[in-house]
């Protein structure tokens, strides 16, 4: 085991031993290459550099009390990456290659999988980009798929404590018929200015409203939004939201625990009627939202009045994290225990 301060790890990059690569060329995927370099040599005219042919995934490997390492719903990350590839005309990574590379990346960096009980996990970052040269705008004929890993702590430094969010209307991360529904790099470039703006105002992440009418809630930074009202788990439906695997799991879990669920357009004006609200994604699982500020009119909405997450969010968080670390039985077959 590496000598790292596991429970204080930021959500950031830590150098590990190896990463894995495979290149699609001449119509087929090449052998998996194990690399100890943090760099990649890319053609100066690669479409990934010029025309945004790039997609990524984010998932975690969790070490349980029994020492075993678990992946959570990796097949969903694989399918989403295939949809991302399809959406921007890249070569899809086959399921077997995806699985072989993520598991090999964990195996070769076992020392970096944080110990049980630290709240940390090994973040796995698969990404795919056009590496073949083009000058005119068209898809490349060569693609590079890389998987690296990095031990991470919780995404929001507050951990499972309320965060502050600010609504932005002067920029959109994605358009209704654009690429918001797939995990492609361009969406994140489009979000950088609004992230900087809200941080400058003392808020953690921006809340995006739908780009067309600015009436409905879309997302929060790189996380989905959910709300609890009258024993119902509510999450927005919109063509420009990235379908979060965490959100989908919380929704299923909510049903399993006896709550109702609704996936529908959610007007921002409904916010005052919610009992609990939160952001969800692989990085922090759930970040309860304690405050939302509307930067246009200065209006502030407060939640978690006692400074703590609400009871339903807490229950969902504890159950999902319990399943991921193997503390709670997994009735959904979401977890893959690795044979390492
Ligand atoms: C990755 C991501 C999420 C969270 O998805 P998970 O599968 O739960 O990690 C939500 N929104 C955006 C924009 C994302 O990029």
Q: What is the pLDDT of residues 43-75, one digit of tens each?
A: 999 999 999 999 999 999 999 999 999 999 999
Residues 34 and 144 in one domain: yes
* Of 132, 148, 149, 145, nearest in space to 31 by CA: 145
Residues 114 and 213 in one domain: no
Residues 144 and 224 in one domain: no
Protein residue with its CA nearest to atom 15 in ligand 1: 222
Kindly state whether residue 70 falls inside one of the protein's structural domains. yes
Q: Is 246 in the pocket of ligand 1 (CB under 6 A)?
A: yes
Of 94, 118, 152, at which residue does a domain stop? 152
Domain that holds residue 230: 163-325
> Residues 112-135: pLDDT tens digits?
999 998 889 999 999 999 999 999
Centroid of chain to Cα 287: 13
* Of 117, 120, 52, nearest in space to 89 by CA: 52
Residues 24 and 125 in one domain: yes
Q: Is 238 in the pocket of ligand 1 (CB under 6 A)?
A: no
Residue 10 has pLDDT above 90, yes or no: no
Kindly state whether residue 335 falls inside one of the protein's structural domains. no
Cα–Cα distance measured from residue 192 to residue 173, given in angstroms and rounded to the nearest whole number = 9
Query: Tell me, what CATH number does 82's domain have?
Result: 3.30.470.10
Collapsing DSSP to helix, strand or coil, 131 comes out as coil
Per the prediction, the chain carries an average pLDDT of 96
Kindly state whether residue 283 falls inside one of the protein's structural domains. yes
Kindly state whether residue 96 falls inside one of the protein's structural domains. yes
Q: Mean of the pLDDT values across residues 292-298? A: 94
pLDDT tier at 251 (50, 70, 90 boundaries)?
A: very high
* Of 230, 290, 274, 238, nearest in space to 254 by CA: 230
For ligand 1, the distance from its centroid to the CA atom of residue 136, given in whole angstroms, is 31
Q: Is 324 in the pocket of ligand 1 (CB under 6 A)?
A: no
Ligand 1 pocket test, pick from 221, 222, 247, 248 with the greatest ligand atom count within 8 Å of Cβ, gives: 222
Report which ligand 1 atom has the smallest distance to the Cα of 245.
7
Residues 147 and 173 in one domain: no
Residues 63 and 139 in one domain: yes
How many degrees, rounded to 5, is the angle at CA 111 between CA 106 and CA 114? 85
Q: Is 179 in the pocket of ligand 1 (CB under 6 A)?
A: no
Kindly state whether residue 222 falls inside one of the protein's structural domains. yes
Residues 243 and 223 in one domain: yes
What is the number of domains present in the chain? 2
CB-CB contact of 268 with 209 (8 Å): yes
Dig out the tokens for 176 from the structure: 């209704």
- Phi and psi at residue 113, in whole multiples of 5°? -80, 115
Residues 172 and 310 in one domain: yes
Q: Is 241 in the pocket of ligand 1 (CB under 6 A)?
A: no
Residue 180 has pLDDT above 90, yes or no: yes
Residues 79 and 199 in one domain: no
Residues 168 and 146 in one domain: no
Write down the pTM of the prediction: 0.97
Query: Tell me, what CATH number does 233's domain have?
Result: 3.20.10.10
Residues 143 and 213 in one domain: no
For ligand 1, the distance from its centroid to the CA atom of residue 331, given in whole angstroms, is 23
For ligand 1, the distance from its centroid to the CA atom of residue 281, given in whole angstroms, is 5
Kindly state whether residue 317 falls inside one of the protein's structural domains. yes
Report which ligand 1 atom has the smallest distance to the Cα of 282.
9
Kindly state whether residue 76 falls inside one of the protein's structural domains. yes
Ligand 1 pocket test, pick from 282, 285, 287 with the greatest ligand atom count within 8 Å of Cβ, gives: 282
Q: Is 59 in the pocket of ligand 1 (CB under 6 A)?
A: no
Of 112, 128, 152, at which residue does a domain stop? 152
Of 152, 182, 214, at which residue does a domain stop? 152
> Residues 16-35: pLDDT tens digits?
999 999 999 999 999 999 99
Residues 308 and 180 in one domain: yes
* Of 139, 145, 155, nearest in space to 101 by CA: 145
Tell me how far CA of residue 88 lies from CA of 51, 118, 138, 186, in angstroms. Answer: 10, 38, 10, 11
Kindly state whether residue 338 falls inside one of the protein's structural domains. no
pLDDT tier at 156 (50, 70, 90 boundaries)?
A: low
DSSP 336: E
Residue 235 has pLDDT above 60, yes or no: yes
pLDDT tier at 78 (50, 70, 90 boundaries)?
A: very high
* Of 42, 58, 20, 36, nearest in space to 143 by CA: 42
């Amino acid at each position: 085991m590496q000598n790292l301060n596991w429970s204080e790890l930021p959500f950031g990059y830590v150098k590990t031993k190896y990463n894995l690569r495979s290149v699609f060329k001449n119509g087929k995927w090449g052998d998996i290459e194990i690399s100890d370099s943090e760099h990649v040599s890319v053609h100066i005219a690669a479409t990934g550099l010029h025309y945004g042919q790039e997609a990524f995934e984010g998932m975690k490997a969790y070490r349980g009390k029994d020492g075993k390492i678990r992946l959570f719903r990796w097949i969903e990350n694989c399918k989403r990456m295939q949809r991302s590839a399809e959406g921007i005309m890249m070569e899809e990574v086959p399921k077997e290659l995806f699985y072989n590379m993520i598991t090999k990346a964990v195996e070769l960096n076992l020392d970096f999988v944080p110990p049980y009980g630290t709240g940390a996990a090994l973040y796995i970052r698969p990404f795919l980009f056009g590496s073949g040269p083009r000058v005119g705008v068209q898809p490349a004929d060569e693609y590079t798929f890389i998987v690296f890993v990095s031990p991470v702590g919780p995404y929001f430094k507050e951990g499972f404590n309320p965060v502050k969010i600010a609504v932005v209307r002067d920029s959109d991360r994605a358009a209704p018929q654009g690429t918001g529904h797939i995990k492609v790099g361009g969406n994140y470039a489009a979000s950088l200015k609004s992230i900087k703006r809200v941080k400058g105002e003392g808020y953690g992440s921006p809340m995006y409203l739908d780009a067309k009418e600015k009436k409905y809630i879309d997302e929060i930074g790189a996380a989905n939004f959910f709300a609890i009202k009258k024993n119902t788990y509510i999450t927005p439906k919109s063509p420009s939201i990235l379908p979060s695997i965490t959100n989908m799991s919380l929704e299923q879990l909510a049903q399993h625990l006896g709550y109702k669920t609704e996936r529908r357009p959610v007007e921002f004006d409904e916010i005052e009627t919610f009992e609990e609200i939160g952001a969800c994604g692989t990085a922090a699982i759930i970040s309860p939202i304690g405050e939302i500020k509307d930067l246009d009119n200065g209006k502030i909405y407060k939640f978690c009045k006692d400074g703590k997450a609400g009871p339903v969010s807490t229950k969902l968080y504890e159950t999902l994290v319990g399943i991921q670390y193997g503390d709670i039985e997994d009735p959904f077959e979401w977890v893959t225990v690795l044979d390492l």
